Amino acid sequence: MTEVERKKEILKLMRKRARLLAPNDFAHFLAYANPKYQAEWFHQLIAHRCQDVLEGRIKNLMVFIPPQHGKSEIISRMFPAWALGRNPDLKIVSCSYSSDLSQQFSRSVQRIIDTKDYAEIFPDTFISGSMVAAAEVKGFVRNVDFFETVGHRGFYKAVGVGGSLTGTPVDIAIIDDPVKDAAEANSTTYRQRVWDWYNTVLSTRLHNESRQLFIMTRWHEDDLAGRILRAEPNEWQVLSIPAICEVERDNGLSRRKIGDALWPQRHSLEKLEKQKTRAPREFSALYQQRPTIEGGNIVKRDWFPRISLADFTALRFREPMHFYLDTAYNKRKKGQDNDPSGILAACRINNQIYVYKAQRVWKEMPDLLRFIPEFMGSNLGNEESILHVEPKANGISVVQMLHELSTLNVRQTPTPQDDKEVRLRVVSPRIETGRVTLVEGSWNDDFLDEVCGFPTQPHDEFVDILGYAINDLYHNGDDLSPDVDIDDLFSY
């Protein structure tokens, strides 16, 4: 047997295996229905979750992945055909931002059902006008946005957001990108219109056993997915996969490392980084699935004044720089590696705090102990500088070892009594009044993304250490006018 013949035989066997497994395994159906389809790990993961929806293990599923990563091919084109093959009595409604797009999905589903390959594994599921349908079959509707399964009670209906579903019971509702573009996403009126349609049209067609499959690229914190999750957070399972990995192995979903692209063969890391540079806020929403409120959440971006390095250097003179460290856990968390440590350099000049540098690092204890003096030395640290360390995780060990191994002035911060959100809200008035200035540098955007995106960001080290710095550098409200009531200012 030649090499070419051997490869053909292997492909033949793989095809035979896919045919045997496809009726009961959606991931194998993808390969069977389209032999050229090259499923990546996240495609297979989505397929498994879709099968969980059909088989009742998941009732409501949201899938958030970046644009052009194959989500619609799996969920809006392949899944309805496979689901109707498994159960031709299903009543499926597919919704998208326009009737035109919904009709495109409908045509794709019909083409799959019409194929000979489909008929071989699902002989009981066919639609009027197909090669399988008998000539005398009449009375079963088939058009661009609606078709019925011949001899059964099932159907598929395509509708644009805003369209009518009067009299249509729904077993599975598929919502694929209810927002077309940034203009719609940023329109309060349009977001409300979509929300009203979901509550007065789609949801009224659901029954006790209905399931929902919601896929979209996030545009806005207040989009339809955001509103649904706020209204009923415990009723949905969310599968969110960012374009660039932010947590080791995607919390146990993959083998990716931090910084790896999701689909490098189609969307390289270089391409993604360029996209991020062009539009950081949009990239965070569309590609990383972390939309933020315009300007920030608890803290707004425009609350932070900026100062050039030259102007800051001229202003500072001999004011000591102090440092604030939030250490990561040593223990490996389930499904992921260590969180990063965060360190911040800041000083106070008159009644203004200047953040000179903030950096996030992934280092185990020995490397972290070597890194800290280097960071302090290269960021204006001197013998007057104090390193403040939160006594959590391995922070206590860091304090003890630095006392023993270095001449650094190291101090433990008070143990926090409140959660992170409360602590950020307490210091936010000083940020809002422009008392915290950033020294211009390449780190600014990452710092602002995390602090202003909190609590939707994957990490919050900068949130912690910024709060430590503000509380430490302002003692007992000594920056405030005697006429100001501190309790009133910090109330929320």
pTM: 0.66
Phi/psi at 115 (5° precision): -75, 155
CA atoms within a 13 Å half-sphere pointing along the CA-CB vector of 256? 22
Instruction: Using the Cα atoms of residue 352, residue 356, residue 361 and residue 365 in order, give the sign of their dihedral.
Output: negative
What SS3 state is found at 431?
Answer: helix
CB 310 within 8 A of CB 466: no
d(CA 21, CA 253): 23
pLDDT of residue 295: 55
d(CA 141, CA 177): 27
Enumerate residue ranges in the chain where pLDDT < 50.
135, 330-337, 476-477, 479-492
pLDDT of residue 442: 92
The CA distances from residue 346 to 385, 388, 392, 408, 428, in Å, are 10, 11, 21, 16, 17
pLDDT of residue 187: 81
pLDDT of residue 393: 64
pLDDT, tens digit, for every residue of 76-114?
999 999 999 999 999 999 999 999 999 999 999 999 999
The CA distances from residue 418 to 325, 327, 421, 423, in Å, are 18, 18, 8, 6
Tokens of 94: 């597919």
d(CA 227, CA 210): 20
pLDDT of residue 256: 95
d(CA 244, CA 252): 15
- CA 259, distance to chain mean position in Å, is 15
pLDDT of residue 131: 64
Phi/psi at 403 (5° precision): -60, -40
The closest of 134, 130, 157, 159 to 146, measured between CA atoms, is 157
pLDDT of residue 60: 97
d(CA 169, CA 83): 17
For Cα atoms 258, 342, 385, give the angle at the middle one, nearest 5 degrees. Answer: 150
| Strand 146-148 to 142-143 pairing | antiparallel
d(CA 64, CA 288): 9
